[in-house]
Amino acid sequence: MIKVEGLTKRYARKIAVDNISFEVEKGQIVGFLGPNGAGKTTTMRVLTCFLPPTAGKASVAGFDVLEQPLEVKRRIGYLPETPPVYPEMEVHEYLEFVGRIKGVPKEQLAKRIAEVSEACAVSDVRKTLIGKLSKGYRQRVGLAQAIIHNPDVLILDEPTAGLDPHQIIETRDLIKGLAARGDHTIILSTHILPEVEQTCERVIIIAKGKLVAMDTVANLTSRLRGAETVAVEVVAGESEAAAVQRKLEQVAGVSRVLANQHREGKLSFTVESLEGRTIRPGLARAVIESGWNLNELHAVGLSLEEIFLQLTASPEDAKQEEAIAAAAAPVGESQ
Amino acid sequence: MNTFTVARKELNSYFRSPIAYGVMAFFALIAGYFFYVAVVFFVRRGMESAMMGQSFPMDMGEMIIRPLFSNISVIGLFLIPMITMRLFAEEKRTGTIELLLTSPISDLEIILGKWLGAMVLYMAMLAISALSLSVLFVYGHPDWKPILVGYLGLLLQGGCLLAIGTFISNCTKNQIVAGVAGFAIMLLLWVLDWASSFGTTVADKVISYLSVLQHFDTFSRGVLDTKDIVFYLSVIFVGLFLTARSMESLRWRA
């Protein structure tokens, strides 16, 4: 559906996007991930024909963004970072205007406005001036605007930025709802990682204009995680901390045990396994058989956050982070 | 079709904001004042000549209508930057330009739509002066043909100033900058005409030819001159063409 080949965008002094290539299949929902200023917005602007690429090709549904921009624009719904709404218009007037310029046939317009207002939960503010709406509502009006012409491709630039937690959940559900219907291909950019884990099937990570990784969330997680990490919490006095730690270290398959902060009567550890070993049953048995009570035992998955940091950090950054971590965590916080 | 959609949206924004009302009220006040002064002058001349037992030829066209049109054309210089300053600057500042530029409509449709929207507001503004002029028809029999020609001239002159203003608004994302720059340039186009009063060289003639107001003179006299119509139409074309170029460069630069 979307094909990007060797895309480069250069501004006067700086390269915003450097030779990026990727493809997105029809019906997929893809997270576009990267720190601020990584080139996410620029890539999206090229895809929406707002900016021409300096080099390389980009096409949507087989139409090139430079050769046939009108055909591309017809098939794209775009929500920029700040919703492009006119504060002096009422919600339904705005949707009508957008529907017209997006080429929705006149006889279907009223029906489409009703549908998207319903889908984006803005029916109750139809007659309200957009300028009087809250940020969350404006974002939803922006989303309604993006889907009014039922585009094949939806491009959403940080759809949850600046919303409160409640609104973030609503917006995410809305996007998931759109994706579930299966007729939209969705690209959404964000620098918030849980968002990608929760909404996207595939992730494209870019940093400093370069493509760093592109895979499914599950693959990325397992690719970077050879060994298992387990958090263990044992009910025991602090005097027994050393004994517990020794016991855990003796379990087969354990590579190392790190003591975390102990809270009154509870000792917590982070246990790492050797490559490809399952250690949780062994750990449980070891604790119980030694007469302590096991309070908690769970596998700590490598979160996307860690993957992201590993992939996007340059070597100097990593060194700096280690130095900071060493200075800040004298109790041996696990990494 | 899309052009009219954009024009309608523009017009809608004008009347949802204080701009339309401010501009129209200011115009009504100033144009009304000029009309009043001209009429009072005309009536006094009429009474004087009656008292002295002489009868000067009293010409409404020459004594009321022509000065009124000239004055309106100057008022336009002051008000048109206020109409055009927000056209693109506002959209660029709030980011709604992204909506327009990523919609399946051409740059030309956007530009023409915006210009047309501004044009309709300008026409609504001119309509107020028609109210004053209609008073003349109640008390006298002025010739209506020169009046029509005068309005045609105002439309053409306004159209070309609006086109220039549209271009300036496209060059910045700050409305105030667009307004001030627009006003400065329109003032310049007005005073260019003075060059011809100092000298008679070819350069003076060329400069004076570029003055937008100078070409209005024939219209205010009720004369239709193709030379001036062509001048106005070409300036409208150049203004809108420059806007299109500026939009194109906006894409390639940033």
ipTM (interface pTM): 0.87
Q: Which of A55-69, A194-208, B168-182 has the lowest mean pLDDT?
A: A194-208
Tell me which of A315 and B236 has the higher pLDDT.
B236
Mutate to test the interface with A, among B100, B103, B111 (most CBs of A within 10 A): B103
Cross-sheet strand order for the sheet of A153-157: A76-79, A153-157, A185-190, A29-33, A202-207, A210-216
Q: State the nearest Cα–Cα gap between A268 and chain B, in angstroms.
A: 51
Q: Which of A12-21, A314-323, B121-130 has the lowest mean pLDDT?
A: A314-323
The pLDDT tens digits of the residues spanning B85-115 come to 999 999 999 999 999 999 999 999 999 999 9
**pLDDT for position A112:** 93
**pLDDT for position A329:** 47
Beta bridge partners of A53: none
Say if B243 falls within a structural domain.
Answer: yes
Beta bridge partners of A297: A232
CA B251/CA B254 separation, integer angstroms? 6
The structural domains of chain A, ordered by start, are 2-222 (3.40.50.300), 226-299 (3.30.70.100)
Residues of B in contact with A89 (CB under 8 A): 9, 12-13, 16
The pLDDT-based confidence of A324 (bands split at 50, 70, 90) is: low
**pLDDT for position A314:** 57
Residue A319 pLDDT > 60: no
Token digits for A92? Answer: 């339904």
The pLDDT-based confidence of A304 (bands split at 50, 70, 90) is: low
- Contact B98/A50, CB-based, under 8 Å? yes
Cβ-based neighbour number of residue B18 at 10 Å: 10
Average pLDDT, integer, range A28-48:
87
Mutate to test the interface with A, among B11, B90, B96, B99 (most CBs of A within 10 A): B99
Q: Judging by DSSP bridges, how do beta strands A185-190 and A29-33 pair with one another?
A: parallel
What 8-state DSSP symbol labels residue B64?
Answer: I
Amino acid identity at B119: M
The pLDDT-based confidence of A114 (bands split at 50, 70, 90) is: very high
Token digits for A251? Answer: 């379990």
Residue A175 pLDDT > 60: yes
Residue B141 pLDDT > 90: no
Beta bridge partners of A22: A4
Closest alpha carbon to A30 in A202, A254, A258, A263: A202
Token digits for B42? Answer: 């005309």
User: Which among B13, B98, B251 has CB closest to A86?
Assistant: B13
Average pLDDT in chain A: 82
- Contact B96/A84, CB-based, under 8 Å? yes
The parent domain of residue B116 ranges over: 2-248
Listed in sequence order, the residues at least 6 apart from B207 whose beta carbon sits closer than 8 Å to its beta carbon are B192, B195, B196
Say if B253 falls within a structural domain.
Answer: no
Average pLDDT, integer, range B38-43:
90
The pLDDT tens digits of the residues spanning A117-159 come to 988 888 899 999 999 998 888 988 999 999 999 898 999 998 8
- Contact B101/A86, CB-based, under 8 Å? no
Number of domains in chain B: 1
Tell me which of B218 and B205 has the higher pLDDT.
B218
| B249 and chain A in contact, CB less than 8 A | no
- Contact A51/B251, CB-based, under 8 Å? yes
Specify the DSSP element, H or E, that contains A276: none
Q: Decide if A76 contacts A50 (C-beta within 8 A).
A: no
Say if B254 falls within a structural domain.
Answer: no
**pLDDT for position A332:** 39
Say if B130 falls within a structural domain.
Answer: yes
